[in-house]
Amino acid sequence: MKYLTRTIWLLSLVSLFTDLASEMLYPVMPLYLQSIGFSVVLIGVLEGVAEATAGLSKGYFGQWSDRLGRRLPFVQWGYGLSALSKPMLAVLTAPWWVFLARTTDRLGKGLRTGARDALLSDETTPKNKGRVFGFHRSLDTLGAVLGPVLALLWLAARPGDYRLLFLLAFLPGLAAVGITLAVHEKPKVPSAQPVRPFWASFSYWQRAPSSYRRVASGLLVFAFFNSADTFLLLLARQRGLPDATVIGLYIFYNLVYALSALPAGHLSDRLGPRPMLVTGLLLFSLVYAGMTQAHELLVFALLFGLYGLYAAATEGISKAWLSNLCVPADTGAALGTYAGLSSIAALLASALTGLVWQLFGSTAAFGLSAAVAAGVALFLARTRLPSKE
């Protein structure tokens, strides 16, 4: 695997440790917030503010890294802020402090995402980008497998001891920051484009190639109907599965995702990103349609496994495709803009799914997402691109 350079390996390990730290807190965060007095509404507001911070900042910092011709400082500071946010939650329980900690974490994600993805893109050639992004997603998702497992083991031994868990989650985050210090980036010609104000974070869209806008538009329509994975877990709980089993399904999904991401990247480089993305969207449609009828554990396990295959066929490959549809000097802005708009679309998607679920039931909510995913798959399969894919 000569296409995996030292920098790609290091950035992938950084993502593994960072995701491990974040996912250690995933199963316990709602419980912790409720234990310190957060209502469901306040939790929703907290997550909304946090995700909006990440979404609005990804495009801004991505284009800033293009303008400076530097990626690494954004990567290092971004992972540093996310690591710092973990122990912050153990210091105080005041709502304003919790908001600050959560926003710090998401600002770190916004700071690093565009620059990191651009750095991965800079390290390879168009014919290998599927494999590179697939490998990165594989190690990143391995952290999402290990994190919940460690959290469950910790809480089984020390029930309710959330604060010390937040402090422990700082350790893999700190390891991730340390690894970034060993990364070296290649010299890069700065972009001639000026850095737009923060409120114009998505200005790249105006000058982006039409092929980029067409593919990104289809993916963003899908993102607007692709709600948070929390709804899948909630449905499984409502259908009678115990909490431990539901978390086990989440771990299983991430394990399938981690094992499938690199092979999916290989197939993308051989067959092209278009057929892989279309296949992934069709798998999503199948999973969400199946969820409307699922009641047995084996059916849920099958659907969560297919959901892992969907993620492997879309997450990293969409970035690889879009990075090939822009000029190299704009890679940070292109990937940051897409990541930012996707975050905002995902936030709206969760609100929309929750509203449809409340008004018309879970079958309508999941059926709507399944239908839109199938429509976007058809659009991407048939759309003509004026420039190379």
Question: In this structure, what token pair is assigned to residue 7?
Answer: 């920098």
For residue 197, the tally of other CB atoms under 10 A from its CB is 9
Strands (E), 108-188: none
Contact predicate 17/179, CB 8 Å: yes
- Burial label for 194, CB within 10 Å (0-12, 13-18, 19+), is exposed
Closest among 62, 126, 120, 67 to 325, alpha carbons compared: 126
DSSP state of 329: G
Domain range 6-182+204-382, CATH class: mainly alpha
Count of residues making up the chain = 389
- Report how far residue 63's alpha carbon sits from residue 65's, in angstroms, rounded to the nearest whole number: 5
Does position 198 have pLDDT exceeding 60, yes or no?
A: no
How high is the pLDDT of residue 315? 84
Which of 38-47, 306-315, 363-372 has the weakest average pLDDT?
38-47
How high is the pLDDT of residue 389? 47
Q: What is the rounded average pLDDT of the residues 258-272?
A: 88
Every domain of the chain and the residues it spans:
6-182+204-382
**C-alpha pair distances (Å), 223 with each of 219, 227, 345:** 6, 8, 6
Contact predicate 376/281, CB 8 Å: yes
Q: pLDDT tens-digit profile of 36-55?
A: 887 756 765 676 677 777 77
Q: pTM for this one?
A: 0.78
**pLDDT above 70 coverage of the chain, percent:** 92
Question: In this structure, what token pair is assigned to residue 12?
Answer: 């992938």
In 3-state terms, what secondary structure has residue 318? helix
Report how far apart the first and last C-alpha atoms of the chain are (Å, whole number). 24
Q: pLDDT tens-digit profile of 152-177?
A: 888 778 877 778 888 888 999 999 99
How high is the pLDDT of residue 220? 94
- Burial label for 184, CB within 10 Å (0-12, 13-18, 19+), is exposed
Q: pLDDT tens-digit profile of 207-224?
A: 889 899 999 999 999 998
Contact predicate 170/296, CB 8 Å: no
How high is the pLDDT of residue 300? 95
